[in-house]
Amino acid sequence: MYETLETPYSRRPQTHVSYSELNDSWHISSKSLYFGVMADDVYGAKRINAYHILERILNLKDVAIFDTMEQDGKKVKLLNVQETKITSGKEHCW
């Protein structure tokens, strides 16, 4: 992960992948701290970086992008099909 996404050496001690048997899930720490060509453009997308995508893949979850809209005075999440298609292409890189 470090090499592929070109994680800066100064950030590597803060970023680790861990698995919790208690809730049967993977977690990548500090995944929102990184911005760069590899994490955002090559393996990531405009609204979700590669670290978030990788964590969702490890947890066998779909990578989907939602927009929050207001309908009838309530906030509703709607699937953004175009952004999700772009992100799905990045998912296959892993």
Q: pLDDT (tens digit, 0 to 9) for every residue of the chain, 94 residues total? A: 889 999 888 888 889 999 999 999 999 999 888 778 898 889 988 889 999 999 999 999 999 999 999 989 999 999 999 999 888 877 767 6
**Read out DSSP for 27-72?**
EETTTTS--SIIIIIISSBTTB-HHHHHHHHHTT-----EEEEEET
Residue boundaries of the structural domains of the chain: 2-91
The reported pTM is 0.83
Are the C-beta atoms of 50 and 90 separated by less than 8 Å? yes
- The answer to whether 7 touches 15, Cβ cutoff 8 Å, is yes
